[in-house]
């Protein structure tokens, strides 16, 4: 494995999870975030994502790796279109079912997402525009980072074993979202594995970018009011909902 690729993977396996958990702890200690806090969070996250994507494109180009090797291509247009629609539909179904369960039993929802909702999700039109800009950024950049770059590197390093690329990419993706807790890590790991398989099958990032966008857009559009309501309910110490683990949030 090339030294620069190894350093990039090491950074995303260690520094990114640590910084993510530290940021969440800081948010949890904050009684209430302001509009400026949320906009600053969106902007800093978007800048980091684009810089990371630019670094990866720089190093892969310098190493003579073609964009098609990172799945920045559409080798099978018909298949790509069909899979994009089906994968997005699957993700949207999961989101709607999870949100419906949340609405039916908000007092049983526990975990980090209800507490984060009021502090992270947009609360007015200006914030929604900024948040949706962030969703576009995350959908494109994270797919390039984890499914385009990391999956390719792991597969090449293993001697072109497709399963190695899928597993390595999914683990790295799950670690990046470990701030969501154990359930969030497991669900993100599983969905990451699904996305990696789709990328290997179609040879394109388009289906996973579309599904990634659908997941975060839906969460940002529909989840805030429900999650804030859930967080305001008194917790039942004996009842725990699995909604947090099923609702997908990649931001």
C-alpha–C-alpha distance, residues 125 and 117, integer Å:
16
Give pTM, 2 decimals.
0.87
Q: Is residue 251 part of a domain?
A: no
* 8 A C-beta contact, residue 226 and residue 99: yes
Q: Is residue 168 part of a domain?
A: yes
Helix (H) or strand (E) holding 65: none
Q: Is residue 154 part of a domain?
A: yes
Residues sharing a CB contact under 8 Å with residue 128, sequence separation 6 or more, in sequence order: 122, 220
- pLDDT of the residue at 11: 96
* 8 A C-beta contact, residue 238 and residue 84: no
User: How many residues would you count in the chain?
Assistant: 251
Tokens of 80: 């790509």
Confidence of residue 212 (pLDDT cuts 50, 70, 90): very high
Q: Is residue 234 part of a domain?
A: yes
Residue 171 belongs to domain spanning: 3-246
Read off the pLDDT of residues 92-103 as tens digits, 9 standing for 90 and up. 998 888 777 776
- pLDDT of the residue at 245: 45
The larger pLDDT score, comparing residue 216 to residue 202, is at 202
Confidence of residue 241 (pLDDT cuts 50, 70, 90): very low
Give yes or no for residue 237 having a pLDDT over 70. Answer: no
Q: Is residue 129 part of a domain?
A: yes
Q: Is residue 77 part of a domain?
A: yes
Q: Which of 1-5, 97-101, 133-137, 204-208 has the lowest mean pLDDT?
A: 97-101
Q: Closest Cα to residue 116, out of 192, 48, 37?
A: 37
Q: Is residue 91 part of a domain?
A: yes
- pLDDT of the residue at 106: 56
Read off the pLDDT of residues 125-170 as tens digits, 9 standing for 90 and up. 899 899 999 999 999 999 999 999 999 999 999 999 999 999 999 9
Tally of structural domains, the chain: 1
């Amino acid at each position: 494995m090339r030294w620069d690729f190894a350093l990039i993977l090491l950074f995303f396996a260690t520094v990114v999870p640590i910084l993510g958990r530290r940021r969440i702890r800081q948010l949890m200690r904050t009684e209430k975030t302001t509009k400026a806090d949320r906009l600053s969070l969106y902007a800093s996250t978007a800048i980091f994502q684009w810089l990371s994507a630019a670094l990866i494109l720089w190093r892969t180009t310098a190493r003579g790796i073609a964009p098609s090797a990172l799945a920045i291509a559409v080798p099978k247009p018909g298949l790509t279109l069909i899979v994009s629609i089906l994968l997005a539909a699957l993700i949207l179904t999961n989101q709607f079912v999870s949100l419906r369960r949340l609405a039916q039993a908000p007092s049983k929802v526990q975990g980090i997402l209800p507490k984060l909702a009021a502090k992270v999700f947009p609360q007015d039109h200006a914030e929604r525009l900024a948040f949706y800009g962030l969703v576009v950024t995350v959908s494109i950049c994270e797919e390039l980072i984890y499914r385009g770059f990391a999956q390719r590197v792991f597969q090449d390093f293993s001697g072109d074993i497709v399963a190695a690329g899928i597993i390595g990419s999914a683990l790295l993706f799950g670690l990046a979202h470990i701030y969501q807790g154990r359930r969030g890590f497991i669900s993100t790991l599983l969905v990451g594995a699904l996305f990696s398989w789709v990328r290997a099958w179609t040879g394109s990032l388009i289906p996973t970018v579309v599904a990634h966008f659908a997941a975060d857009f839906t969460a940002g559009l529909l989840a805030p009011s429900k999650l804030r309501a859930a967080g305001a309910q008194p917790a039942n110490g004996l009842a725990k909902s699995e909604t947090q683990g099923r609702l997908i949030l990649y931001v």
